[in-house]
Amino acid sequence: MSKVLTTCPYCGVGCGVAVTANGDAIQVEGDPNHPANYGRLCGKGMQLAQTLSPAGRLLQPHIDGKPESWSRATAHIASRFRQAIDRYGPDSVAFYLSGQLLTEDYYVANKLMKGFIGSANVDTNSRLCMSSAVAAHKRAFGSDTVPGCYQDFEQADLVVLVGSNLAWCQPVLFQRMMAAKAKRPQMKLVVIDPRRTATAAGADLHLPLQPGTDLALFHGLLRYLSRNAACTQQALAQLSLAQLNDYSIDKTAEITQLPLESLTTFFQWFKETDKTVTGFSMGINQSVNGVGQGNAIINCHLLTGRIGKPGMGPFSITGQPNAMGGREVGGLATSLAGHVDFADSDKRDAVAALWGSDNIATRAGLTAVPMFEAMAAGKIKVVWILGTNPMVSLPDTELVRRALQTCPTVVVSDCVIGTDTQRYADVLLPAKGWGEKQGTVTNSERRISRQRSFVAAQGRAQSDWWALCQVAKAMGFASGFDYRNEAEIFREHATLSAINGGPFDISALAQFSDHQYQQMGPLQWPQPAGKPLQLQPQRLFSSSGAGKIVIDHPQPRLGQGNFIVNSGRNRDQWHTMTRTGLATTLGRHRPYPQISIHPDDAAALGARSNDLLQLGSDILAPITISQSQRRGELFMPIHWSDNNSSAGSVNRLIDSQYDPISQQPGFKGARVEAKAQ
């Protein structure tokens, strides 16, 4: 009975997990040596063993509802791809991936589509999670790089959390920060969130701002800092103060609907505290102003030079286990593998040479929402969806339904059977799940960790990279897809990372043997070849003038209705509950979907606790009356769908407006019509 060290499959904290498997008896505990969690696990992580049930698993390939062999299924998919490409061109096919995939799966999918099919129509549900932070990083630093590490949350004297319910969504990082705060009570926590969340309840100052006004808040802070704080000359020289004329502290208080006194306190604390970290998450990214808001936060750190040093910096907190790893290998339609831009023809040629490809995509492909719009318009003839359930997770469910109904061939790879999306699938492929598959993931602090297998795959489930290689070979691309194992894929990815170099360079890991890959411990990038492996936390962009100040004007969020609706996670559930729903302990926290509403709004609607509230024409769920809500705003969790409740998915209410730069949908702050039933 030996311990297998692996990584939790849920949130972007990327906690290390030690698993002891003795036949069917599986014991899960935190890995005391993993730098993300040092032995801690949250409730979801602790119940991982309960989720390894064979119940509900997709066990073999299916074509048109009938069980099939892998060889027939992959030959069928290959012929559909080939026919569409020959007849309509490479942009008539698409992959839609997931932050749940391992980096090796992501790498092979991208290589096949961008390197060999010759289209960049590969996007991922990570588009819905952090693509606005990606674009903000690129505008500020010239690269998609989180400058800091988790230790900064412990070393800071002021932590500002914006649009992040860290206590529920990334609980172990929250625990680490609060443990540091307990030891140093002078450390302050400011939470900027319309709701009084569990995170806000632990804050020294909660700023319940009007949804969608974060840009104004940080422009106001930037203006205040430029007049009152010690600023770096390089950043100050970039600043056009005329752009901030509309953001005096009084005007900012008016726009954000925050008390002037609270706002002034926040601005003063920020001004006075060198060691300041600003963590931002979905409340910032999932907005039609997501990129501008990300830059507005980064601006304040650049102006004060608080970046890349212990306890200082802006920090994008990712939601999914491998949102960062997908970005490394080109999981977004907007870049090639190794963070190489399509426009950089020298580096693009270098990627093509490494892949042995003469058909590499030369321009960005369709991002998530435009991809489904193109499908609905009949322009995409084959789509392969891996590890995600867009019928629930994308906004504008009706668009997604039309898209999947219109697309002639829909292939879905998943661990479980019967998801909302699978209703529209022509081909189903069984994927290995957590504990069965092998590979790497990268967490929010750029740390690559191994996921390792410790149980046999259920049924005929296979790794996604293997399925992609089978299809690639059946399409005639044998030479680039003959991998023996995950280690070979990882070495190629690490070799390719040197093409862009800089912060993304992990080429030192390209030398790892299969055995070293198996033994590999958690490592933060960069890890360039020719240098000893760096095991201490690494910070980037500390030199003055390392970033660019970018100031945007807000985009209006259009829509009608008597309430603003926000959505998010519950403490003990993960996405559509296909895994966490198997753990009975986790179900006790919030057993059914509820809409949170302020008491005054409930009274105005004539509704009492547990009465049904109808949102739009589709959603009907009981209310919970809560002082944590602002008046005029509702909150509904994301976990339920047509498949697991009669309430329906909250994303049915969300239209497909998105940030014009990142094309990340604006899940937050949509207007809806609500009435009591």
Q: Which residues would be at the binding site for ligand SF4 (CB under 6 A)?
A: 8, 10-11, 13-15, 37, 41-42, 44-45, 170-172
Tokens at residue 329, please?
Answer: 């290998």
Taking CB atoms, the residue at the shortest distance from ligand SF4 is: 45
Which CB, 46 or 136, lies closer to ligand SF4?
A: 46
Nearer to ligand SF4, 580 or 663 (CB): 580
SS3 label, residue 441: strand
Rg from Cα positions in the chain: 24
Long-range Cβ pairs for the range 356-359 (8 Å, 24+):
356/479, 356/480, 357/115, 357/116, 357/480, 359/115, 359/116, 359/117, 359/118
Q: Which is nearer to ligand SF4, 90 or 637 (CB)?
A: 637
Beta strand 205-207 with 523-524 is unpaired
Q: Which helix (H) or strand (E) holds 614?
A: strand 612-615
Three-state DSSP at 205 gives strand
- Toward ligand SF4, which CB reaches closer, 393 or 657? 393
Q: Minimum CB separation from ligand SF4 for residue 297, in Å?
A: 23
Q: Other CB atoms closer than 10 Å to residue 87's CB: what's the count?
A: 9
Query: What's the angle, vertex CA 480, arms to CA 479 and CA 483, rounded to 5?
Result: 95
User: At CA 214, angle to CA 212 and CA 217, rounded to 5?
Assistant: 135
* Edge-to-edge strand list for the sheet holding 447-451: 439-442, 447-451, 523-524
Of 42 and 140, CB closest to ligand SF4: 42
Minimum distance between the CB of residue 12 and ligand SF4, rounded to whole angstroms? Answer: 7
Minimum CB separation from ligand SF4 for residue 10, in Å?
3
Is the CB of 149 or the CB of 351 nearer to ligand SF4?
149
Q: Taking the complex as a whole, how short is the minimal distance between the CB of residue 169 and ligand SF4, in angstroms?
A: 8
End-to-end Cα separation, the chain, in angstroms: 57
Complex with ligand SF4: residue 35 or 547, whichever CB lies closer: 35
CA distance 257 to 632: 13
Shortest reach from residue 538's CB to ligand SF4, in Å? 20
Nearer to ligand SF4, 14 or 330 (CB): 14
Closer residue to ligand SF4 (CB): 7 or 132: 7
- Strand ranges across the sheet with 16-22: 3-7, 16-22, 25-30
The length of the chain, given as a count of residues: 677
In the complex, least distance from residue 172 CB atom to ligand SF4, rounded to whole angstroms: 4
- What minimum distance in Å lies between the beta carbon of 179 and ligand SF4? 14
The DSSP code for 480 is G
Smallest distance from ligand SF4 to CB 99, Å: 13
- Contact between 162 and 283 under an 8 Å Cβ cutoff? The reply is yes
For residues 100-128, b (16+ Cβ closer than 10 Å) or e, as one string?
bbbbbbbbbbbbbbbbbbbbbbbbbbbbb
In the complex, least distance from residue 54 CB atom to ligand SF4, rounded to whole angstroms:
22
Which one, 44 or 575, has the nearer CB to ligand SF4?
Answer: 44
What's the closest the beta carbon of residue 388 comes to ligand SF4, in angstroms? Answer: 18
Q: What is the DSSP letter of 651?
A: G
